[in-house]
Amino acid sequence: MSTTVVAVVLGSAVLHAFWNALAHTARDRLTAIALIAVASGGASVLLLPFLRPPAHAVWPWILASGLLQGLYNFGLVLAYRLGDFGRMYPLARGTSPLVVALVATFVVGQPMSVPEAAGIGVVSAGLLALAFSDGIPTRADLPAVCAAVGTGLVIASYTVVDGVAVRRSGSVLGYSCWTFLLSAIFVLIGVTAIRRSRLLPSLREDTARGLTGGLVAMTAYTLVLWAQTRGGLAEVATLRETSILIGAGIGALVLKEGFGRIRMAASAGVVLGIVLIAR
C-alpha cells in the first residue's frame, strides 16, 4: 500500500476518533446523532448539484450503505449508553477488521500478502485487547458488549458494501454525499419517531458540538472512500480502525477512563500491525 494512502487513512482515523468523542461526551447522544445527520445531510445537499452522479449500477449499494450507516449511528448511541467509551469504542471498531478481511479475501476476491494478513491479525488482536484491558466482561456487561459487537458487524457490512461500490461509482465525492444524505434521512426519521415533539427543543443542546461532529464524520469517511479506490479493502478497513488508539487516548486523558499497562502493550501491537500492513 502506498505511503499516501496510508497517510490519508491514518488522518481519517484521527478525525473519526474526534467525532466519536464528541458524540460520546454530548449530554444527549440521541440529539447528537440527529445534529450530526443535519450537518452531513445539509452539506451533501449543498455539494450534490456540483458533482457528477454515481453510476446507475451502484444505486442499490448506495441505498444499502445509507441504511447501514443509519443503523450504525443508533448502535453506537446504544453502546455508549450502556458502557464506557474507552471499552465500547475499541470493541465496536475492533470487531470489524477481521470480518472485512475474511469477506474481502473469500468473497470479493482481494487476496492479501503474508505481511498484510499478519498485520491485520496483529492490529485486530491489539484492538480487542484494548477493549478488554480492564478485564473480561461480566454478566452485567453483556448488554453493552452485545451492542458494541452488533455495531461492529454493521460497520463491517457497510465497509464491504462501500469498498465494492465506490470503485464502480465513477465519483467518490458523489457517492459519499448520496450515502450521507440517505443516512441522514434514516437517522432523522428514527430520532423523530423516538422523540416526536421533543426533538426540536432538544436540538438546541450541544448544537455546535453535533454540527461539528457531522462535518468531521463526513470528511473522515470520504477520505476512507477515496483510499478504498487506491488500496485493498481489508487493509484500508484495518488501518482506519487505528482511530481506536486515538479513542483510547481520549478516554484516558479527557474522560479519565484509565490507560494501564495492558492498553499500552495493545497499542504497541497495533503500531506493529500498521507497519506490517504499510510495507
Distance CA 29, CA 77 (A): 6
Flag whether the pTM goes above 0.85. Answer: no
**Tens-digit pLDDT profile for residues 203-246:** 676 677 778 888 988 998 999 999 999 887 777 877 777 776 66
Task: Let me know: does 41 contact 270? Beta carbons within 8 Å.
Answer: no
**Tens-digit pLDDT profile for residues 6-23:** 888 888 888 877 776 766
Helix/strand/coil percent split, the chain, to 5: 85, 0, 15
Q: What count of other Cβ atoms lies within 10 Å of the Cβ of residue 254?
A: 12
Residue 255 has pLDDT above 60, yes or no: no
* Nearest C-alpha neighbor of 81 from the set 133, 31, 15, 40: 31
Task: Let me know: does 159 contact 96? Beta carbons within 8 Å.
Answer: yes
Q: What count of other Cβ atoms lies within 10 Å of the Cβ of residue 192?
A: 14
* Angle of CA points 125, 115, 117, to nearest 5°: 50
Distance CA 62, CA 165 (A): 8
Distance CA 135, CA 103 (A): 30
**Tens-digit pLDDT profile for residues 60-104:** 999 999 999 999 888 888 887 887 766 777 777 777 777 887 788
**Tens-digit pLDDT profile for residues 30-50:** 888 888 888 999 999 999 999
Task: Let me know: does 264 contact 124? Beta carbons within 8 Å.
Answer: no
Residue 112 has pLDDT above 80, yes or no: no
